[in-house]
Structure 1
Amino acid sequence: MISLIVPVKDPGDAINRLVDSADEQTLPAAAFELVLVDHGSDRPTLDRLEHLRRRRPNVTVAVLPAGSTVADAVNHGIDLAAGTFVLPVGQGELLFPAGLEKLTAFAAEHGCDLAVGRGVGPARPSIDQTLTTADAPRLAPHLRLAATSHPFVAYRREFLNQHGLRYRTGRALLDRTFHAECLAHTAAVGVFAGYPLARGHGLAEAYPIRDSESSRAQWWEDVQGALDRTADAGARAVFLAAEVAAAVVWLGLPADTRLRPMVQDAVRCEVAAELDPLLAPVPRLVADDLREGRWDEAARVLAGFTGLRAVAESSAAHWTDGALQVELTGRIETPASLDLRNLTYQRMFAETKIILGVRNRLTAPLHCVPTESFWSVDTEADRPGLRFTARARLDPDRIHHGGPLPGGTWQVACYVPGLSLDTAPVLPVPLAGTPTTILDHRLIAVVGGTDETLHFDVGGTTSSGLSGLRPEHTELIETPAGSRLTITLPDVRADRQTVLQGAIRFGRLSFPARLSGGPDGSRVECFASGLSGDYPISMTFGDGRPTPTGLTLRIEHAGAMIILPA
């Protein structure tokens, strides 16, 4: 059983959407519960919560006094929970139908004390992109904090109670200090990336990434307090390595000089050193300075690197041996205070690996592929910056966990790790025109999304080279078997002779059709018949809706057939 702990404060209709998505779970209602803990709402909200409780046996409602915090609400919910696992979620989230069932099964199978689920949404994807290419029943030490510093983490309730672990800060659902304390007591941390848990509509507000100056000071206080409560030397070392070494470069160096030895010890330790490749280039440079005691230099680097921005400018793409070869060029805009003539900076950027991959922007992480990347200083632009080029081979039959991409539209994207102090950007790749191709008996098109960026259309779900045709692309021949229509597809290619079975629709009438593709071009053939009239022609050779071709079949009263523009 899993208990969802939901801090509530004046949610409006959002709480109804959350509860409705819980009702649609594949996990039986008896196997999960919603613990709604109000911490300061008005009377209409309390009435709404009571109405939800009366209608559902797996809903518990608690009301805390005005002035209570999110942390108070989460901790009270954990105390009330009956589940083997507890999962704090925001009041504005929507759960995917199989999310709870799959996450709890994963956590139980692998004996996780902390099981990290994947959240998706307009604010940002959860779980670092480097962690989401496959499930991970046990994360390496240097990855645990990166994984747990995201919204959706299920905790084994017995583990929390055994060690007296509870939320420490009251600002939001993302309590980094609580996570770090958990990591000091367990290595049983797993990531379930195979299916999204929730669609986060309020991620930016509920889980802030960059804190204010005052909250940073509070965070450092929390760190010191957690250290005071952690007596075991080994646990203290893990806490320091995970929390301080990973977070110092995002939260800023502590103003309290008494904390400086603690930070330097943290970045010198073996576990912290493993973080370097994941945090390139800015955090790695800061860690180098701190290890050598160059505190002022580390602070200067942090200030200079604030405001880096990556921009994807242009791309080229072509099919080769069943894969799309993509080359992306872009630019990193840097502040004027950053002297790019510094050879150390240039070396660090040169070592930074840009990653290309594909993603379903709603429900999937970035599926990464090996990528070559090259850097150079941009000396011609008005604003200081760096130019980069990234090249990769995207094979639709192998890129999705080693297998083929499922049908649908997949965005080609570029991941630039470690450039921002807030989050690593995932950049859409600008559209590059290239023909539709046929791979493994299905259509794979390169199309532009609504934002004119590069997408794979797998299985003919959009235009896929079947639209924008003209009458001169067609031929009608009378044969003993009937009127045979042949349509040439100039934008569809195949590496070898391939045949797809599909359908052509004349208006509402559907006729079997065959698409024959090869290196020299492709064509569609079918037999046409019907009563007199004009019939728009559409085609389908996949899971998508029929694609309008831009053509019309006219059948005259005498039976003659003519192909016209739509």
Structure 2
Amino acid sequence: MSVKVSVIVPVYNPGPYIEDCVSSLLRQSLPPDEYEVIFVDDGSTDETPARLDALAADETRVRVIHQENSGWSGKPRNVGIAAARGEYVMFVDNDDHLGDEALERMYDYGVANGADVVVGKMAGQGRGVPVELFRRNRPRASVTNAPLIDSLTPHKMFRRAFLDAIGLRFPEGKRRLEDHVFVVEAYLRAANVSVLGDYVCYYHVRRDDSSNAGFQRFDPVGYFKNLREALDVVERYTEPGPVRDGLYRRWLRVEMVERMRAGRFLAMPDDYRRRQFEEIHHVVTERFGPAVAAGLPPTQQVVAALISAYRYDDLVAFAEWEAGLELSARPGTPEWRDGTLRFDYVAELTSGGTPLTFPGGGVPAPLDGPPGSTEEAIAWVCADTVARFGQARLDLLVRKRSSSAQYFQPVEVTREIVPVEDTGQVRLMLHATAALDPAGAVDGTPLRTGLWDTYARARVAGWSKETRVGPGPRKAHAATSAAVVGGHVVLPYWTDRHGHLSLDVDRAGKRLGLDRLAPGSVDLSGNRLRAPLPLHVPAGTAVLLRLTAPGRSVETPGTLSPAGDGAVLEADLPVADLGDTTWRTALCAAPDAAERRFLPLPLALRADGRSVKVVRAPQRSVVRRLARRTRRGLAVLLGLRARPGTGAGKA
């Protein structure tokens, strides 16, 4: 019986790292009878085979296939394809996991757009993932109109009939880059590729022990032999010209030039990076014409030219210069306007912690062969960077700390070339004004409970740099007041260690400043309570006030409305129901939420059956201290605990 999606998971000794994968597959919003999970155990020697067999015994949607170890993921994936009953097949690695709605969203999107391949948005947890590809949804993407070539991992959904029609399967055996060969052919032969960019479908995870296959050191000879096979696929299905050169450029940029740049290059042992350099030099000179490198940004053009000219020592010197370059993003003071957090920040490149300067004026000539020296290379790159500064881009992203899911936010950017007095040099500064709306920051939906960090991402000439926004002016821990937006309490704050700008959604307590509310500022007329609170609200917001006394609680609706620099809480108290006792107060900003969260207020209401007055609530620490003393006293009276100093133990 067919299903919509078959999820194929090659498995080899994942240990406990498979648990998140399993949990995410069983949590899918797609009904259980509409998808299947096929684990292909590639000769695991740990406890995983028994774990998977037990899972399959309990879950009818789970199947397990055991086979002898094949050496890599190609054969297990092919075995899974052969066993699959789904209209689409989805490949997942055993140490990664899916978003809860991934299969349903990707399947529906693929069907709606007649896609042979569906690429779901990825989030990298300790691993790099494409960013620009997922800036928006792309229902009809191709290698000519979208940066598809940036995503060559197999973690996508493929129409099974399409794979069978063109006879596409993974290369097998102990080899590398089998996914490149498979995915690039799928891209080039698909009738349509759809990119789903508004939901994180796939979480690409780096293990704590960094034992993922992609992080293991490889044999350069074998690696670049396998890379040539991916280039062969491009050659087979494209004509000579700009499209082929653009595709080749991906491997030159990512698999070769980037391995020979900055800290990544310098971190390798010298003998190993020399062996990589040798193999990369052979591929560059054998397979790539001048037009391939000419389309690279300037810094990468320099590295490619040095590789082609066999200039290893100059490559090391250039890497040492590049390794010192960073991006800074200095923020101003955030403020709330109509439920949107607005703040300015200035981004620029730095070297050794100081702003990087560039030669002012002049138009560089195209790079004609490798520069004569490292100094010439740096001078050419810097001059070209000034010339291209009008194309520089700056973005703001918010990234959830627990999952690494990230989302672009609206920014307005201006570029400024600032002369450095009496030097003939200039600074290149990007000025941004960000408008972060918590109610729609996650592709039109609210920021969810948790901690969110802000990141600036700049593309300046040949550099793509990313950094946290900060440090900011940490006069106080909070960057500005909290806001009640979209049913959530959002507090912008500066982090303790580095002063970076982050957002606390529905977790902050004391930092909200509600404890500063004084009883004397509260107005109580009859049964109508009015209290000023240091919160921003864009408009009238329905809230809930909870009154708690020993053994009882009462809830009454209220509103938060804008008032000056904060808000005013208004609620009608059920005076007749309060009796003769003291009531603690707490506020819920999202009364319709599935899990309501109440924020304690430093107010107590003293009722006598006819009227109510406001008093300051005792601090919780005092209450806890009194409670502990009461419990200890009772224990002593009952003989359950010795008095201090008697030396006796428990009764």
Question: What TM-score, normalized to structure 1?
Answer: 0.78
Distance 1:368 1:152, change over 3 A: farther
Equivalent residue number for residue 262 of structure 2: none
Contact 1:89 1:173 survives alignment (8 Å): no
1:372-387 mapped onto 2 (5 Å cutoff): 372=413, 374=415
Q: Tell me which residue corresponds to 2:225.
A: 221
Q: Does 1:510 align with 2:510?
A: no
Instruction: Report whether the alignment pairs 1:527 with 2:572.
Output: yes
Relative to structure 1, the CA distance from residue 229 to residue 366 in structure 2 (aligned partners, 3 Å threshold; closer, same or farther) is: closer
Q: Could you tell me which of 511, 514, 521 is aligned with 1:474? A: 521
Q: Shift of residue 564 of structure 1?
A: 0.8
Tell me the equivalent position of 1:130.
132
Distance in 2 (CA, whole Å) between partners of 1:523 and 1:303 is 57
Cα deviation code 1:364-403 (max 9, x no counterpart): 43123234255779999xxxx9885541231528854885
Q: Which residue of 1 aligns with 2:263?
A: none
Give the aligned residue type for 2:126.
A
Once the 2 structures are TM-superposed, how far is the Cα of residue 154 of structure 1 from its aligned partner?
1.5
Summarize the alignment of residues 128-277 of structure 1 with structure 2, pairs less than 5 Å apart: 128-141=130-143, 143-150=146-153, 152-168=155-171, 170=174, 175-186=179-190, 188-202=192-206, 205=210, 212=217, 214-228=218-232, 232=236, 234=238, 240-241=244-245, 243-253=247-257, 255-256=278-279, 257-261=281-285, 264-265=288-289, 267-268=291-292, 273=295
Worse-superposed segment, 30-39 or 222-231: 222-231
Distance 1:252 1:364 in 2: 28
AA matched with 1:250: V
State the Cα distance separating 1:89 from its structure 2 match: 0.9
Q: Distance in 2 between matches of 1:264 and 1:83?
A: 40
Q: 1:68, CA displacement in angstroms?
A: 2.4
Which residue of 1 is the match for residue 342 of structure 2?
325
Q: How does 1:328-339 map to 2 (within 5 A)?
A: 328-329=345-346, 332-334=349-351
Identity fraction in percent: 20
Q: Identify the residue that residue 434 of structure 1 maps to in structure 2.
A: 480
Partner of 1:489: 533
Q: Kindly indicate whether the alpha-carbon contact (under 8 Å) linking 1:493 and 1:519 is maintained by their aligned counterparts in 2.
A: no
Q: How has the CA–CA distance of structure 1 residues 81 and 423 changed in structure 2, closer, same or farther, with 3 Å as cutoff? A: farther
Using a 3 Å threshold, how does the CA distance of structure 1 residues 58 and 470 change in structure 2: closer, same or farther?
closer
Amino acid at match of 2:530: T
Seen in structure 2, the aligned counterparts of structure 1 residues 131 and 114 have a Cα distance that, compared at 3 Å, is same
Q: C-alpha distance in 1, partners of 2:461/2:153?
A: 17
Counterpart of 1:355?
Answer: 395
1: distance between equivalents of 2:315 and 2:412?
A: 32
Classify 1:158/1:90 alpha carbon distance in 2 versus 1 (closer, same or farther; 3 Å).
same
Distance between the aligned counterparts of 2:284 and 2:309, measured in 1? 11
| Deviation at residue 444 of structure 1 after TM alignment | 6.8
Contact map agreement 1:513 1:525 (CA 8 A) in 2: yes
Structure 2 residue 450 is the aligned partner of structure 1 residue 447:
no
Which AA in structure 2 matches 1:51? A
What secondary structure sits across from 1:91 in the alignment?
A: coil
Give the Cα–Cα distance (whole angstroms) in 2 for the partners of residues 329 and 505 of structure 1.
44
SS in 2 for 1:192: strand
In structure 1, which of residues 546, 552, 555 is the aligned counterpart of residue 604 of structure 2? 552
Render the CA deviation track for 1:344-374: whole Å, top value 9, x for unaligned.
Answer: 3454567431211434453743123234255
CA distance in 2, matches of 1:167, 1:266: 31
1:306-334 deviation line (CA, Å, top 9, x unaligned): 46444545442224566433222456454
CA deviation vs aligned residue, 1:482-509 (integer Å, no higher than 9, x gap)? 3x33211245365xxx432212222232
Residue 85 of structure 1 aligns with which residue?
A: 88
Moved more, 230-239 or 180-189: 230-239
The DSSP-based 3-state class of the residue aligned with 1:354 is: strand
Letter aligned with residue 457 of structure 2: V
Which digits, 9 at most, give the CA deviation of each residue in 1:212-258, with x for residues without a partner?
4x445434312323444666462676885455312323322563555
Note if contact 1:173-1:206 (Cα within 8 Å) is conserved in structure 2: no
| Structure 2 residue 348 is matched with structure 1 residue 344 | no
Summarize the Cα distance change of 1:294–1:43 in structure 2 as closer, same or farther, 3 Å threshold.
closer
SS in 2 for 1:117: strand
Task: Write the mapping of 1:391-410 to structure 2, written as runs, cut at 5 A.
Answer: 391-396=432-437, 400=441, 403=444, 405=446, 408=449
Aligned position for 2:587: 539
**Alignment partners' CA distance in 2, 1:185 and 1:416:** 33
From the superposition, tell whether residues 12 and 328 of structure 1 become closer, same or farther in structure 2 (CA, over 3 Å).
same
Q: Structure 2 stretches of 5 or more lacking a match?
A: 258-276, 354-373, 474-478, 620-651
Residue pairs, 1:12-31, within 5 angstroms? 12-31=15-34
1:521-553: per-residue Cα shift (whole Å, max 9, x none)? 531122343244443322123345122233333
| TM norm structure 2 | 0.69
- After superposition, the Cα gap between the structure-2 partners of 1:560 and 1:76, relative to the gap in structure 1 and judged at 3 Å, is closer
1:394 maps to a residue whose letter is A
Q: Given the alignment of the two structures, is residue 97 of structure 1 paired with residue 120 of structure 2, yes or no?
A: no
Paired residue secondary structure (1:161):
helix
Residues in 1 aligned to 2:125 and 2:494: alpha-carbon distance in whole angstroms: 16
Give the conservation status (yes or no) of the 8 Å contact 1:119–1:197.
yes
Q: Give the whole-Å Cα distance in 1 for the aligned partners of 2:463 and 2:80.
A: 30
AA partner of residue 475 (structure 1): V
- Work out the CA distance in 2 between the residues paired with 1:378 and 1:70: 55
1:564 to 1:284, Cα distance in 2 relative to 1, 3 A:
farther
Question: Which region of structure 1 is more displaced relative to structure 2, 8-17 or 170-179?
Answer: 170-179
Conserved 8 A contact 1:53-1:59: yes
Which has the higher relative contact order, 1 or 2, with Cα contacts under 8 A spaced 6 or more apart?
1
User: In 1, distance between residues paired with 2:248 and 2:306?
Assistant: 12
Say if 1:424 and 1:172 are closer, same or farther in 2 by CA, change over 3 A. Answer: farther
| Distance (Å, rounded) in 1 between the aligned partners of 2:142 and 2:211 | 27
What is the Cα-based RMSD across aligned positions, in Å? 4.5
State the distance in 1 between where 2:290 and 2:186 align. 17
Aligned length in residues: 543
Query: Cα distance 1:33–1:438, how it changes in 2: closer, same or farther (>3 A)?
Result: closer
Unaligned 5+ runs, structure 1: none
Deviation at 1:430, TM superposition (A): 5.1
1:359 and 1:265 map into 2 onto residues whose CA distance is: 40
Whether the 8 Å CA contact 1:250–1:421 is kept in 2: the answer is no
Larger Rg: 2
> Which of 616, 625, 631 is equivalent to 1:564?
616
